[in-house]
A and B are shown apart, each in its own frame.
Chain A
Amino acid sequence: DIQMTQSPSTLSANVGDKVTLTCRASQSIRNWLAWYQQKPGKAPHLLIYKASTLESGVPSRFSGSGSGTEFTLTISSLQPDDFATYYCQQYNSYPWTFGQGTKVEIK
């Protein structure tokens, strides 16, 4: 199975900060990577697919990059609505797997 490792586990930041979340795959997944945002008590919400394609309706302050085994999700200017947990997920090979999540909290 492909293991997905996210770092950091928790990130403390202020509104307006630029934040970068990292996701590493245990083997190459080409660019078959998605990012999700989840708020407490809610279902996850797709942000990015194919490593860098912004889902329709997602604010442009979110961006994704990377290929192979190293990927990043960047929020250019953190907004109050962005405090949440973020997950990466590979869909290169079965079983599809998620990272353990990065919680973005208010500093």
Chain B
Amino acid sequence: EVRLVESGGGLVQPGGSLRLSCIASGFILNSYEMNWVRQAPGKGLEWISNISSSAINTHYTESVKGRFTISRDNAKNSVYLQMNSLRVEDTAIYYCASGLYFRHWGQGTLVTVSS
């Protein structure tokens, strides 16, 4: 069974940092590009970043450029999202998702940015 499990969410003050992790099981992560997608409370889906299978290429949506960094460790079957300079508007459930279109999703981890 394919599983993606996110962790690392929590409550953080504006300007703070968090590092999200996504661990895959049931498939070989290094064959897939990987993504982070978020969903603010009661809102729609927003793609925020992806990383190629080899980690050579990364892409970000404009609102997180310079603040968020995606990375991966294929040996650990894991993908990460380092989030710095967090803002209230970054409050959301963060999902990792596999592939060019998102075939596999994790259950999500909630990030709350509030003072």
Contacts and interface: CB of A to CB of B under 8 A. Distances in A.
B102 A46 contact: yes
Contacts of B102: 34, 36, 44, 46, 89
Given A94-B59, A95-B61, A44 B100 contact: no
Interface in B44-93: 44-47, 50, 59-62
Given A43-B108, A95-B61, A95-B62, A55 B47 contact: no
Contacts of A94: 59
Contact of B101 (A38, A46, A97): A46
B105 A101 contact: no
**Nearest 3 Cβ contacts at the A-B interface:** A43-B105, A34-B101, A49-B101
Given A95-B61, A95-B62, A89 B44 contact: no
Contacts of B44: 87, 98-101
Contacts of A50: 101
Q: How large is the interface on B (under 10, 10 to 19, 20 to 34, 35 or more residues)?
A: 10 to 19
Interface of A: 1, 34, 36, 38, 43-46, 49-50, 55, 87, 89, 91, 94-101
Given A46-B103, A95-B62, A96-B35, 11 more contacts: A36-B45, A43-B107, A49-B101, A87-B45, A95-B47, A95-B61, A98-B44, A98-B45, A98-B46, A98-B47, A100-B44
A20 to B, nearest CB: 20
A87 to B, nearest CB: 6
Contacts of A44: 45, 95, 102, 105
